[in-house]
Amino acid sequence: MCVENFEVSLNEVFSRFKGRREELIPVLQAAQAAFGYLPVEVMKEIAGFISVPESQVYGVATFYAQFYFSRRGKHTVKVCLGTACHVKGGGRLMEAFERELGVECGCVIPDYQFGLERVNCVGACAIAPVVMVGEDVYGHMESNRVKEVLDKYEKGS
């Protein structure tokens, strides 16, 4: 991470807040939006800004599922495993993505092109099973369309 940009971005994030204790979660959210995840250096700076021990920042950040602590893929594949998707074969879809990408759920592939995650419901239950790649939603997904969907992103960008 480039130190100069790091400070500029973080100062920009901090400029939107007052540094109050109750701002911890919104600050973490804003920092993650700026950096894509929460590097340790960023969390240390946040601890200073909010005036709480680093352990508390880490404790809060790890409590909530929204926060990431390592670099994410360029495209994040989210396989929905909400109840409707589960009963319609979401689990088999997840396995198909794991097979195709060669990583387990929760991991990023070595070239950082794709990350694979599960999500507990995107609320598009009527078109279950659902998979999201970035902001794009694929409904009525089938295992044998997995490669076709991934190819779109590999070639496209």
Nearest Cα residue to 77 out of 11, 127, 141: 141
Torsional class of 106: left (φ above 0), alpha (ψ -120 to 50), beta (otherwise): left
16 is an interface residue for another protein by CB under 8 A: no
7 vs 136, beta carbon nearer another protein:
136
109 near 99, Cβ under 8 Å? no
5 is an interface residue for another protein by CB under 8 A: no
Residues in 42-101 at the binding interface with another protein, rule: CB under 8 A? 50, 59-60, 63-67, 81-84, 86-89, 92, 95-96, 99
Q: Smallest gap, in angstroms, from Cβ of residue 4 to another protein?
A: 29
Q: Smallest gap, in angstroms, from Cβ of residue 114 to another protein?
A: 18
- Dist. CA 27–CA 138, nearest whole Å: 32
152 is an interface residue for another protein by CB under 8 A: no
Does residue 129 have a cis peptide bond before it, meaning omega lies within 30 degrees of 0? yes
Q: Smallest gap, in angstroms, from Cβ of residue 42 to another protein?
A: 16
